[in-house]
Amino acid sequence: MARRLCSYGTSVARAAAQHVRPNNIRRICWSKQIAGARRKIACFALLAFATSTLSAFCWGGDIPEIRPRPTGPVAQIPFKAYQDYLIVAEGRIGNLEHQNLLVDTGTNPSMIDRRVAAELGLQATSRDLSLFNKKVVSETVTLPEFEFGPLRRQNLQVMVADFSAIGRGLGTRIDGVIGLDVLGASNFTIDYKRRRISFGASVEQHTVPFTAGQQFITVNLKSGSRELHLLLDTGTPQLVLFESHLRDVDLGWRSTAGTGNNLTGNVEFKAIVLHQARIGTLEVGPQPASVVPSQHDYAGSLDGLMGLSCLRPKRISFDFEKQLLGWSD
């Protein structure tokens, strides 16, 4: 069984917690006031864990050993940032230029909007998709060509989804999500201050090792006596933890709770604050987090997702050759 991971196949409400800087907890869509708190809840693409029950027909989804086309100097492309750390940049899908792509290291395989698939006349194949709480039917198509900066893939199999709600929440059209199956082909650096993605690693103030395993990148976060094994996700605004994985974590429960929507319907969430949190040698606590249920498939492997707001980076570098994450604050 090939595993699939995607942080944009669903949306889960998230809650703010006390002792957190306001600009780190901005909300995107469907916000509402929470009694007893000054923060807002958003139900935008916080979490999507997906395992595919795809047969041998489907791709493995591992980080590919693909070399970008020679570009001379390090290639750079501009992007727009939403909610501080969510990135949208232009790419090419098939013969469609100037397509808006969400950059998401927590997604594998990449995805395109249903409208784009129809415009390209692509024939979809139905497959079972297991989200973290329920199985649904998904569709895959084969793109003749996919281009993002110097990265170019041919005959790329991607998932099909409806991104209209996400686009409305962001205030921009979303044509697809570029995942780790494409991004993993090159080192890259995200400069949030200059709003540029450079296809090459950079030397940064802080570093921590990551694991580039099958289909995803993981990092460790220490809280209490627990070392949490987290999927590093540029498509998730903050920290999301699985409720069954909270043993020995130094946390405080908040009174805020609610539900959000994903592909299967409503998903309940709770809110906590990690009193202590450390990534490598850097203290990053207190840290707000949403707590959601999960399938037992992830027990012993992943404890949740880590969005980049945990690091508050001005620039962040992904070095796949050294398996090193670097960032400057």
Strand pairing report for 13-14 and 42-43: antiparallel
State the Cα angle at 194 between 209 and 168, rounded to 5°. 90
Within a domain: residue 231? yes
In a domain, 7, yes or no: no
- Please count the structural domains in the chain: 1
Of 110, 136, 141, give the one whose Cα is nearest residue 124. 141
**Verdict on whether the full-model pTM lies above 0.95:** no
- In this prediction, residue 137 carries a pLDDT of 66
Q: What is the CATH number of the domain that holds 102?
A: 2.40.70.10
pLDDT at position 63: 52
- Domain holding 124, by residue range, is 13-55+76-328
The pLDDT, as a whole number, for residue 100 is 98
Residue 95 belongs to some domain of the structure = yes
How does DSSP classify residue 297?
G
65 domain residue, yes or no: no
Rounded to whole angstroms, how far apart are CA atoms 97 and 91? Answer: 7
What are the 10-residue block averages of pLDDT along the chain, 329 residues in total? 44 34 33 26 30 26 48 79 91 97 90 95 79 64 96 94 85 94 95 96 95 85 93 85 90 77 61 92 90 62 88 95 95
Q: Quote the pLDDT of residue 19.
A: 37
- 31: in domain: yes
CA 289 distance to own-chain centroid: 15
Does residue 142 form part of some domain?
Answer: yes
> Which letter does DSSP use for residue 70 in this model?
P
What is the pLDDT, as a whole number, of residue 210? 95
State residue 266's pLDDT score: 58
In a domain, 105, yes or no: yes
pLDDT at 255: 77
